Structure 1
Amino acid sequence: MAEITRKELVLGLISAGDNPRLSGLDLSGLDLSGLALHRANLARANLSGCNLVMTNLFGANLKGANLTGANLARADLEGAYLAGANLSGASLIDAILTDANLTDAVLDGANLTRAVLDGVKGYRAPA
């Protein structure tokens, strides 16, 4: 269960300015759709089951984050650092992952239909 509500997060983001630090927070199950989280530090954050549809995560640090079952459809993850992140069962339909780093990321059961994977590091398409 999330440590904070969407409203509390949005209020915190307003005062945080550029590069908000949200590392290690439990945000599981929150509706974070459409938020501007570009360049946010979400390393080791629990984002399991989150609605991240159309969320701007451009250049975000998601190293080791738990994104199991998260909905990242149409999310902008260009240049995001997802090394060691768990994306098992996540929906990445139409997501932009250009130049993202997926080294050692877990993608078991993730849906990457029509995802843009140009320049992705550490990703190997299933055989």
Structure 2
Amino acid sequence: MIIRRYLNNKRGQAIVETAVVLPIVVLLLFSIVEFGQILNQYLVITAAAREGARAAAVSNDAGAQTAVVDSVASINNDGLAVSITYPEGKREQGKSVTVTVSKPLQVTTPIIRELIEQAFAPDLPVIIAQSVMRVEQP
């Protein structure tokens, strides 16, 4: 009888502990998922800059723009900016071409989005990747 009463008293404690710890665990889980998505965005933008630089090195600027846009097809490309620059402003064989790709960071979890907006307001983070290659064809 005494053991039964003791166990009944412990049930309420477990519910309170769960109520206290559960929001922290859920926030931690969402943070891990968001970190993975942000890392994915960074890797896609970096690969797109590399693809754009390669396309600019062997073809023209329009081909490089298309290569970048095609490379970021796996993520939302809202706010995507592509910059293609040459030294001395003109394309010459043997000189370098620099492709810079930037895109605003996109976070899907509302609580984490609010935390980022509060931490970085008014300048939200932007993912920037740059790649340089040598022009092979004039």
TM-score (norm 1): 0.20
Query: Of the two, which has the highest radius of gyration?
Result: 2
Q: Give the structure with the higher percent helix.
A: 2
Q: Give the structure with the higher percent strand.
A: 2
Q: For CA contacts below 8 A with separation 6 or more, give which structure has more relative contact order.
A: 2
